[in-house]
Amino acid sequence: MGCILVTGFEPFGGEKINPSWLAAERLPAVVAGRPVEKLLLPVEFGASARLLCRRLEQLQPEVVLCLGQAGGRAALTAERVAINIMDASQPDNAGFQPQDQPVCPGGPAAYFSSLPLKACVQAARQAGVPAAVSNTAGTYVCNQLLYAALDWAQKNDCAAKTGFIHLPWLPVQVLDRPGQPSMELDTMVRGIQAVLEAALETEEGENNGSGTENP
Ligand code: PCA
């Protein structure tokens, strides 16, 4: 039995907090009998992916769940796909702002998440937490991280169920953004825990691309 690796990000874009790391920190140390390893990542193209891949190599986890903030979304959103593009509308935390560049030169155009997405979303909802499948992780650091994790799994023959969940803003982040959606941290954590349990319970990785395999 392996472990679970959960990652979260530092704040970015002028925010003081990032719900992804706060939620990762608050997860229990053990979920479904597996130890939960937590990794804080910088909001930087390149460095975030390198740090994650190094940890994947060390831990060989059973489930890899990366978390990120997607301000403006109202639910936990489980990403279906990572695309081979970096196209940033704002610089990352190291000041790098790639435009129309591949994550992995010569790599496939996209990878599907290997999490059982529908089972994960259903589990979160059953726990009372709004959740949905998302068909775009954007073209910023989060998409790059999921692409890099799935590319690593592909190249290293790694069967880890690997996915990404974008989280809404926390209530404190929308105080000056009237009308914008938010979610309490405890609610997020409950949903993420349900997602992890569903990922471990579902025997076969669901096919997220209607018959299309990752390359
Ligand atoms: N969200 C950003 C990067 C870090 C984060 O939490 C994104 O969606 O790409």
Selected catalytic residue, list 3, 66, 142, 197: 142
pLDDT tens-digit readout, 125-138: 999 999 999 999 99
At residue 211, the pLDDT reads 61
93 Cβ neighbours under 8 A, 6+ residues apart: 10, 12, 42, 43, 44
Distance CA(191)–CA(27), nearest Å, equals 10
pLDDT tens-digit readout, 29-88: 999 999 999 999 999 999 999 999 999 999 999 999 999 999 999 999 999 999 999 999
CA of 68 to the centre of ligand 1 (A): 5
H or E stretch covering 119: helix 117-126
pTM: 0.96
Whether pLDDT at 149 is above 70? yes
210 Cβ neighbours under 8 A, 6+ residues apart: none
Round the average pLDDT of the chain to a whole number and report it. Answer: 96
At residue 1, the pLDDT reads 81
200 Cβ neighbours under 8 A, 6+ residues apart: 4, 31, 32, 34, 62, 63
pLDDT tens-digit readout, 85-122: 999 999 999 999 999 999 999 999 999 999 999 999 99
Q: Ligand 1 test: best mutation among 52, 85, 93, 142, most atoms within 8 Å of CB?
A: 142
Does 9 contact ligand 1 (Cβ within 6 A)? yes
